[in-house]
């Protein structure tokens, strides 16, 4: 008859083997899903001071300060400049993105699920994922803020929107309703898990007397 210690050791080995197989199967089942989760070592980096960003031809512009590729997709941020009395994006929500705003200059008007708040210079505003929101500059002075993004490379979304799609619209005198532009916007939203409500933008512009 085998001793209890021998049986215990055998049971332990069997359990460890099954656990190892289970881990292997789960990794195999997930396939490429886990490939992007392999973390590269983080390295120090420095972002030098820059002249304050100015609003673009359409009254708003962005500039990436920290890229998510430098933080293993944990964090990125952009500087945003909005001209006086200018509307921001259409109300929208993010499937996976949380964002944090720090106002540097002026006052940001932020709407989250229909509630409007004024965020003055030095103030912070956090917008969790899956909440409908937008912002605009309701004042007679320029607005400038840092928008911080967590767990997604959202700076890529903004750069494509502001530095590719919008310039093409202006160059060709098109609107978001143009079929080609509409398809590009729809594709961009889908890739980054954004749901946009374009029909809700004009009522805000009309109510507050903003430039679109």
In whole angstroms, give the CA distance from residue 190 to residue 135. Answer: 21
Rounded Cα gap, residues 127 and 125, in angstroms: 7
Pick 26 or 65 by higher pLDDT: 65
Name the least confident of 2-6, 23-27, 115-119, 126-130. 23-27
pLDDT digits (tens, 9 = 90+) for 178-196: 999 999 999 999 999 999 9
* C-beta of residue 61 within 8 angstroms of C-beta of residue 80: yes
**Reported pTM:** 0.80
CATH 3.40.50.300 assigned to 60-208: no
Per-residue pLDDT tens for 105-150? 999 999 999 999 999 999 999 999 999 999 999 999 999 999 999 9
Look at the alpha carbons of 102, 73, 116, 189 in this order and tell me if their dihedral is positive or negative: positive
| pLDDT computed for residue 36 by the predictor | 53
Buried b (16+ CB within 10 A) or exposed e, 174-210: eeeeeeebeebbeebbeebbbebeeeebeebeeeeeb
Per-domain residue ranges of the chain: 4-29, 60-208
**Beta strand pairing status for 133-137 and 86-87?**
antiparallel
- Tokens for 102? 């720090």
> b/e per residue, 15-45, with b = 16+ CB within 10 A?
eeeeeeeeeeeeeeeeeeeeeeeeeeeeeee
């Amino acid at each position: 008859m085998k001793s209890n210690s021998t049986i215990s050791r055998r049971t332990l080995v069997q359990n460890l083997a099954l656990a190892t197989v289970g881990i292997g199967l789960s990794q195999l089942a997930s396939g490429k899903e886990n490939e992007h989760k392999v973390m590269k070592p983080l390295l120090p980096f420095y972002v030098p001071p820059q002249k304050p960003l100015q609003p673009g031809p359409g009254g708003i512009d962005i500039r990436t300060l920290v890229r998510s590729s430098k933080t293993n997709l944990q964090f990125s941020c952009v500087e945003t400049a909005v001209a006086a009395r200018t509307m921001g994006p259409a109300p929208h929500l993010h499937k996976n993105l949380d964002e944090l705003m720090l106002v540097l200059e002026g006052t940001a008007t932020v709407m989250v699920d229909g509630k409007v708040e004024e965020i003055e210079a030095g103030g912070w505003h956090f917008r969790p994922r899956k909440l409908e929101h937008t912002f605009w500059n309701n004042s007679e002075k320029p607005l400038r803020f840092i928008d911080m993004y967590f767990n997604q490379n959202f700076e890529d979304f903004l750069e494509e929107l502001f530095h590719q799609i919008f310039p093409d619209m202006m160059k060709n005198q098109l609107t978001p309703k143009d079929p080609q532009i509409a398809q590009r916007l729809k594709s961009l939203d889908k890739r980054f898990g954004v749901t946009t409500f374009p029909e809700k933008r004009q009522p805000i512009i009309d109510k507050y007397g903003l430039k679109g």
